[in-house]
Amino acid sequence: MEQVQEEMKDLLRADKEEMRVHVASQVEGIKDHVDGCIGRMEEEVQGVKGKIEEVKTEVQEKMSDLERRLSDLETRPNNFPTNPEFMYSRPTVKPLTFDGQTSWTVFKTQFDVVSSTNGWTDSVKASQLVASLRGSAAEVLQGIPADKLTDLTTIEKALESRFGDSHLTQFYRTELKTRRQKPGESLQELAADVERLMSLAYAKYALDVRERLAAQYFVDAIRDEETQLSTMLMDFTYLKSALAYSMKFESAKTASKTSIHARSMEADDETWKERDDKFESLLKAL
């Protein structure tokens, strides 16, 4: 019996030792695997750090390049020689403002001149036009889709529809036809108002047509009949020519009246002098 028990103990000890060796072997294998994973992770971390450093270096180089370019742009205008081509590309005329209270047609003409002088592209024109709007004119932007706020044609059409003079064209033409020189109004003031109405009533007509019509309306509006008839007979093509002639005619007419009045006064003085002489002769005879 004792021998059997001893054999069982030996078997248990052998199994225990075998298990210990097996567990130790497994633990060593796991340790080696973990060490290998840690090593690979450290290598990957080092690789990521290297890439981060590369990206950081690349970003710093790009920032340095941008700073250099900005510095060049700031100093370049002062270093360029005076050249019309370079000067033309830079804004030289101050942008305008439009609040809807003045004529859209007049503002549009001024804006086109400024944009042409400054050499703006259509996209720049659109942004400048939006920036120039004030008051009720700026409210027009609320009706324009966001993706169209940089489209020059869309913005101009919206402003033309709201503030354009096209619906008042007939009104201005009627005002031109019925325009007459007011009491105390000079010929220069009359001509200026006719020119203003012409720009509103016939804005789309050719310049030579507007000039001839302006001269005609100006002559028709002259208050003094003699000045009007004399200027009309000259059949001027340009308003400025008609104005210059009518002013000279009025000046000559005024000078003529003054001369006639002076001669009349001299004649009256001579008559009274003759009467005085006769009266004195009669007194002496008595």
| Rounded Cα gap, residues 62 and 68, in angstroms | 10
| Rounded Cα gap, residues 65 and 144, in angstroms | 40
Which residue type does 67 have? E
* Residue 165 parent element (H or E): none
Break the chain into its structural domains and give their ranges.
Answer: 104-163, 167-259
What the block records as the tokens of 126 is: 């659109």
Q: What is the CA radius of gyration of the chain?
A: 50
Burial of 253 (0-12, 13-18, 19+ CB in 10 A): middle
Cβ atoms of 198 and 169 closer than 8 Å = no
Cβ atoms of 180 and 223 closer than 8 Å = yes
Task: Per residue of the chain (286 residues), give pLDDT as tens.
Answer: 677 777 777 777 777 788 887 777 787 878 777 778 788 888 887 887 888 888 778 878 877 777 777 666 655 444 444 444 444 445 456 678 999 888 888 899 899 999 999 999 999 999 999 999 999 999 999 999 989 999 999 999 999 888 887 778 888 899 999 999 999 999 999 999 999 999 888 888 888 999 999 999 999 999 999 999 999 999 999 999 999 999 999 998 888 766 555 555 555 566 656 666 655 665 566 5
| Rounded Cα gap, residues 188 and 240, in angstroms | 10
pTM beyond 0.85: the answer is no
Q: How far is CA 208 from each of CA 1, 43, 181, 238, rounded to the nearest angstrom?
A: 142, 85, 24, 8
